[in-house]
C-alpha cells in the first residue's frame, strides 16, 4: 500500500453524522436509474430492482452507494432536471427507508438535483464536472455541508471526447483539482474527495498516465477516489467489451490501491472488496 511520507492526507469523512475512516480503503457501489448507462447490468429501472441491488452491495461490503440518474457515458444526450429528479428521487427515498444505515452518494452535476436528493436522505454529492456545469453547485455544497467528490472533466458528456487534448495531462488535471479545491476551501467546505476522472475527456493513454501517477495527487492532502470500473480504458485495451471487463477492472483497482486510492467506485462490489482485503495484507 502506498505510504506518503511527505504529505499528510486527510483520511476521515463525515457523512450523515458518521465519521468514516478512509485509511482503510472503502468501496462505493454504482447503481444507475438510467436506461442508457454504458454497462447494461448497472441499469435499474424500477425501485424494486434498485432495492435488490442496494441490499446485495451492502451485504457484500459496500461503504457507499452511488446513485445516478443522468448517463455520463461519452456522447450521452442531455435530459431535463425534472427527468433526472423523477428517475432519482424514488430510488433515494426507497433506499433511505429500507437501509437507513446506508451512506448514499448522488452522481449529479446539477445543484438543484443534488439538494433535492440530500433533503430526501442522501449524504454525499458526486459531481463529474467539478463545479463547472452549474454555477450554484459549490455554494449549495457549502450550505448543505455535505462531502463532495470533486472530479476532473472537460465539456459535457456529449462533447467531452472531442476535448481530450493535453500537453501534460497529469499537471493539467492536478492544477484543475487544486484550483477548484481552493474555491471550496474559501467556502469552508470541510470534506472533499478528489477524482482524476478516468475516461472523462481522456484518451486511453491519458487515463493510464493518471493511474501511473495516482500517488502524486496526495500532494493535495485529500482522499482519492478511483472510478475505472469496466470503462473503455480497460476493455479498449483488451479488445473486449464492458461486459467482459471485470478481470481488467480488478487489475487497475489493485494498482490504484497500491498507489494510494482511498475509495474504489465499482459495479462489482464483492470483487473490489477482495482486492481491498488482499492489498491490505501488504501493510
Active-site annotation, residues = 231, 265
pLDDT classification of 4: cutoffs 50, 70, 90 = very low
Q: Are 140 and 127 in contact (CB under 8 A)?
A: no
The percentage of residues in the chain with a pLDDT greater than 70, rounded to a whole number, is 94
Distance CA 77, CA 18 (A): 36
> Per-residue pLDDT for 50 more than 50?
yes
What separation in angstroms does the CA of 171 have from each of 10, 118, 197, 206, 213?
21, 33, 14, 11, 10
Tell me what the mean pLDDT of segment 66-78 comes to: 81
pLDDT digits (tens, 9 = 90+) for 191-235: 999 999 999 999 999 999 999 999 999 999 999 999 999 999 999
pLDDT digits (tens, 9 = 90+) for 96-127: 999 999 999 999 999 999 999 999 999 999 99
Q: Does domain 25-278 have CATH number 3.20.20.20?
A: yes
> Per-residue pLDDT for 240 more than 60?
yes
Cβ neighbour number for residue 197 with a 10 Å cutoff: 25
> Per-residue pLDDT for 19 more than 50?
yes
> Per-residue pLDDT for 251 more than 60?
yes
Amino acid at each position: 500500500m502506498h505510504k506518503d511520507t511527505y504529505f499528510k492526507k486527510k483520511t476521515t469523512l463525515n457523512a450523515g453524522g458518521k465519521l468514516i475512516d478512509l485509511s482503510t480503503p472503502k468501496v462505493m457501489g454504482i447503481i444507475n436509474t438510467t436506461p442508457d448507462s454504458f454497462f447494461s447490468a448497472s441499469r435499474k429501472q424500477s425501485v424494486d430492482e434498485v432495492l435488490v441491488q442496494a441490499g446485495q452491495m451492502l451485504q457484500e461490503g459496500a461503504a457507499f452507494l452511488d446513485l445516478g440518474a443522468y448517463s455520463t457515458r461519452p456522447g450521452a444526450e442531455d435530459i431535463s432536471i425534472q427527468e433526472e429528479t423523477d428517475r432519482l428521487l424514488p430510488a433515494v427515498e426507497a433506499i433511505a427507508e429500507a437501509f437507513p444505515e446506508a451512506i448514499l452518494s448522488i452522481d449529479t452535476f446539477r445543484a438543484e438535483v443534488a439538494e433535492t436528493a440530500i433533503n430526501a436522505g442522501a449524504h454525499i454529492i458526486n459531481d463529474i464536472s467539478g463545479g463547472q456545469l452549474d454555477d450554484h453547485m459549490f455554494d449549495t455544497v457549502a450550505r448543505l455541508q455535505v462531502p463532495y467528490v470533486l472530479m476532473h472533466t472537460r465539456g459535457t458528456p456529449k462533447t467531452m471526447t472531442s476535448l481530450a487534448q493535453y500537453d501534460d495531462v497529469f499537471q493539467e488535471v492536478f492544477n484543475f483539482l487544486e484550483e477548484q479545491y481552493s474555491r471550496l476551501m474559501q467556502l469552508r467546505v470541510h470534506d472533499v474527495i478528489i477524482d482524476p476522472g478516468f475516461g472523462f475527456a481522456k484518451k486511453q493513454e491519458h487515463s493510464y498516465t493518471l493511474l501511473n501517477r495516482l500517488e502524486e495527487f496526495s500532494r493535495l492532502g485529500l482522499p482519492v477516489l478511483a472510478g475505472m470500473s469496466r470503462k473503455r480504458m480497460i476493455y479498449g485495451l483488451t479488445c473486449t467489451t464492458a461486459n467482459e471487463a471485470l478481470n481488467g477492472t480488478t487489475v487497475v483497482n489493485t494498482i490504484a490501491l497500491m498507489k494510494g486510492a482511498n475509495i474504489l467506485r465499482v459495479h462489482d462490489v464483492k470483487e473490489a472488496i477482495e482486492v481491498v482485503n488482499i492489498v491490505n495484507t501488504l501493510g
